[in-house]
Amino acid sequence: MDAIEGWNGRVKVGTFDLSMDSWKVNATATKVAANDFESRMRKNKAGLRGAAVEFSGYHDNDESPFLPATPAPGGPGLLVGETYDCEAYLIKGSTLVFTFDSLTVFEIEESDAVDDRVNLMIRGETNGVFYYPGGIDADTGAITVLPLAADRAKPKKHAGAGAKRSGQAHAGKE
């Protein structure tokens, strides 16, 4: 299990930056027994890999992250149960970034506004491959040069009721 936490970093959902105080990536692999008939020693292999991701921060009363991208100025359109591409930067302005091509949001928690600040907690899990800082593929360990989210602007569809959100307007029904 890798638990990596960021502070003074930032989170980008599609092309939108979110003001986050902290984020956490908990990368895991299921343990699969791989014992053979003749060995008396336990053997294990890594099974399914994935990551639970948690972002905590805030938004202003007048800049809700739940607004869709259009009409302008819009927002990332964050909704529970939807899938997004996002990046979690270790340090603001750096290229050290976790890249999630497909992250499903399972929980959004908001709390009281203080001085127009609304606290926000977002929890989700990866779907498929994600990349550690440096472009390291979480599945194969290979180093990949990845374009940043802003350069991967094409929306992807999922099997749900609408289009996959990537910080852009809905692409319509499938």
Q: Of 35-39, 41-45, 71-75, 132-136, where does mean pLDDT reach its minimum? A: 71-75
Q: Does residue 156 form part of some domain? A: no
Percent pLDDT > 70 in the chain is 72
Q: Answer whether residue 170 shows pLDDT above 50.
A: no
Are 149 and 12 contacting, i.e. CB atoms less than 8 angstroms apart?
yes
Of 12-16, 29-33, 71-75, 103-107, which range is least confident?
71-75
> Domain for residue 102, yes or no?
yes
pLDDT in tens, 110-135: 887 677 778 888 999 999 889 988 88
d(CA 166, CA 169): 8
Instruction: Identify whether 174 is part of a domain.
Output: no
Strand runs labelled E in the chain? 2-7, 10-13, 16-18, 20-33, 44-60, 83-89, 97-114, 117-126, 130-132, 136-137
| pLDDT at 88 (0 to 100) | 86
pLDDT at position 8: 59
Q: What is the CATH number of the domain that holds 34?
A: 2.30.110
d(CA 73, CA 155): 19
- Expressed as residue numbers, the domain containing 123 is 2-151
pLDDT for the residue numbered 148: 55
Count of domains observed in the chain: 1
Look at residue 160 and tell me if it is in a domain: no
Q: Is the predicted pLDDT of residue 150 greater than 80, yes or no? A: no
